[in-house]
Amino acid sequence: MSNPSLLILPGDGIGPEVMAEVRKIIDWYGAKRDLAFDVSEDLVGGCAYDKHGTPLHDDTMAKAQEVDAVLLGAVGGPKYDTLDFSVKPERGLLRLRKEMDLYANLRPAQCFDALADFSSLKKHVVAGLDIMIIRELTSGVYFGEPRGIFKEGNERVGINTQRYTESEIERVARSGFEMARKRGNKLCSMEKANVMESGVLWREVVQRIGDTEYPDVELSHMYADAGAMQLTRWPKQFDVIVTDNLFGDLLSDLAAMLTGSLGMLPSASLGAPMANGRPKALYEPVHGSAPDIAGQGKANPIACILSFAMALRYSFDKGDEATRLEKAVEKVLADGYRTADLLGEEGRSPVSTSQMGDAVIAALDASLT
């Protein structure tokens, strides 16, 4: 049997630096766990625009459709801010999500013990926090038509459309319920049914799927604004949250910050199963391209490393190896390794991006003895 295939798209800003550390980890699994991958690498985002005049070349798109999983770093940067909307770096990422039909975006927010002091919230509010946000990723206001900036009389009007079909809500609701069953059996769905018809439909459909297919899962509904408030008030009341594309974008950044650093959080974007039974999948850190620190060896590679752990779990059915990697990260943090974003008030000196990667490798080695 051939090795599973991985397409790596480091992208822009700190993307290439953090991905270089993931490459070390992938190599480690090949050498030490007999888990080799066929890895290819390509461009996405601003770097793809610089070379091809488009943030995602058709050949890259085709490759992404063929591989077992895609691993992405980050896209974007100030250099591209003035580009036309249609070729902005972000469009490359959005095209991947849309054309691969990656409708379920899993964004765990987990507070590592060693970092509980870093949260802007009180330690007892966040210590031990472990929630999973499932964000719908291929529809809603990100993709709804009509959209654009139009002339209306003597002024312009900017239009975006929030749109959800029943089947789009059903499938992501099922992802939410399935995840809840694997965890604490509790699902909270968030929308704005008080002001948006799409929210009314969302609530209705999620409730129906719950009643008919998952009566064993405890389901609740919350308006997304109240959800944001509750997430900061007492986040541990939640287990799995399912929400739409835009609310999920906002709430997942909020949840990420609860844990102390955006630099720590991975994500998985999953679609329907392919012929080999694996879901279409793209893994990426939640953080962005951080152009202000790019190229300086300051970036935290942990979110990207943990994204690879998610790939091991969700694409390659290697939950035990994913846990090994997550434990290695935990150990490195417990041992005091900190990249610059994690320094806070502790007065230690930071390790570089590659020192952090090497420390994780050392912890992986130690896990074998």
> Annotated active-site positions, please?
142, 192, 225, 249, 253
- What is the identity of the amino acid at 288? G
**Which residue number, 6 or 93, has a Cβ lying nearer to ligand IPM?**
93
Q: Which of 14, 26, 93, 265 binds ligand IPM (CB under 6 A)?
A: 93
Closest approach, Cβ 228 to ligand IPM, in A, equals 15
151 annotated as a binding-site residue? no
d(CA 151, CA 245): 27
Q: Are strands 130-136 and 104-110 parallel, antiparallel or unpaired?
A: antiparallel
d(CA 238, CA 190): 12
Q: Which of 218, 249, 321, 358 binds ligand IPM (CB under 6 A)?
A: 249
**Which residue number, 94 or 359, has a Cβ lying nearer to ligand IPM?**
94
Q: Which of 27, 99, 178, 249 binds Mg ion (CB under 5 A)?
A: 249
110 annotated as a binding-site residue? no
**Which residue number, 90 or 178, has a Cβ lying nearer to ligand IPM?**
90
The stretch among 60-68, 90-98, 172-180, 208-216 that binds ligand IPM (CB under 6 A) is 90-98
Closest approach, Cβ 214 to Mg ion, in A, equals 28
d(CA 263, CA 299): 8
Q: Which does 93 bind (CB under 5 to 8 A by kind): Mg ion, ligand IPM, none?
A: ligand IPM
83 annotated as a binding-site residue? yes
Which residue, among 144, 268, 153, 269, has the nearest Cα to 197 in the 3D structure? 144
Q: Is residue 99 close enough to count as binding ligand IPM by CB under 6 A? A: no
| Cross-strand pairs, 266 | 285
Q: Angle at CA 148, nearest 5°, toward 144 and 151?
A: 140
Closest approach, Cβ 93 to ligand IPM, in A, equals 6
Q: Are strands 279-285 and 266-273 parallel, antiparallel or unpaired?
A: antiparallel
Q: Number of residues interacting with Mg ion: please give it, by CB under 5 A.
A: 1
Strand order in the sheet with 130-136: 38-41, 5-11, 69-74, 279-285, 266-273, 104-110, 130-136, 240-243, 186-191, 218-223
Tokens linked to 21:
């550390």
Beta-carbon neighbour count of residue 41 at 10 Å?
A: 13
- Chain residues binding ligand IPM by CB under 6 A are 90, 93-94, 249
**Which positions make up the binding site?**
77-90, 97, 107, 135, 225, 249, 253, 288-300
**Which positions make up the binding site for Mg(2+)?**
225, 249, 253
- Chain residues binding Mg ion by CB under 5 A are 249
